[in-house]
Chain A
Amino acid sequence: MSDIILQIDGREVAAREGMTVLEAAQKAGISIPTLCYHEKLEPYGACRLCIVEVEERGRTRLVVSCLYPVEKDLVVRTRSEKIDRIRKMILELLMAHAPDSFELQELAQEYGADRDRFEKEPSFCIHCGLCVRYCAEVKKKNAVGFVDRGTRREISFIPEIAAKECGSCGECFPLCPTEALQAAFVLTKAFSFPTPSMKPAAAE
Chain B
Amino acid sequence: MDKERVDQIIDKHDCEASSLIQILLDIQSENHWLPKEALERVAERLQVPMTRVQHIATFYKAFSLVPKGRHEIHICMGTACHVRGAQRVLDAVQDLTGIKPGETDLDLKFSLETVNCLGCCALGPVMEIDGKTHGKMAPAEVANVLKNYE
User: Which residues of A approach B to under 8 Å, CB–CB?
Assistant: 132, 136, 142-149, 156, 158, 161
Contacts and interface: CB of A to CB of B under 8 A. Distances in A.
A142 B49 contact: yes
Contact of B50 (A148, A149, A158): A158
Label chain B's interface by main secondary structure: helix
Label chain A's interface by main secondary structure: mixed
Given A156-B54, A158-B54, A145 B59 contact: no
A145 B49 CA distance: 9
Given A136-B51, A145-B50, 13 more contacts: A136-B49, A142-B49, A142-B50, A143-B51, A145-B51, A145-B52, A147-B58, A147-B59, A148-B59, A149-B59, A156-B51, A156-B54, A158-B54
B55 interface: yes
A144 B51 contact: yes
A149 to B, nearest CB: 5
8 contacts: A136-B51, A142-B51, A142-B52, A145-B54, A147-B55, A147-B58, A147-B59, A156-B51
A146 B54 CA distance: 8
Nearest to B52: A145
Contacts of B58: 147-149
A110 to B, nearest CB: 34
A127 to B, nearest CB: 13
A76 B46 CA distance: 44
Nearest to A132: B51
A186 B50 CA distance: 20
Nearest to A161: B50
Nearest to A147: B58
Interface in B23-69: 49-52, 54-55, 58-59
B55 A146 contact: yes
Contacts of B54: 145, 147, 156, 158
A158 B49 CA distance: 10
Contacts of B52: 142, 145
Nearest to A146: B55
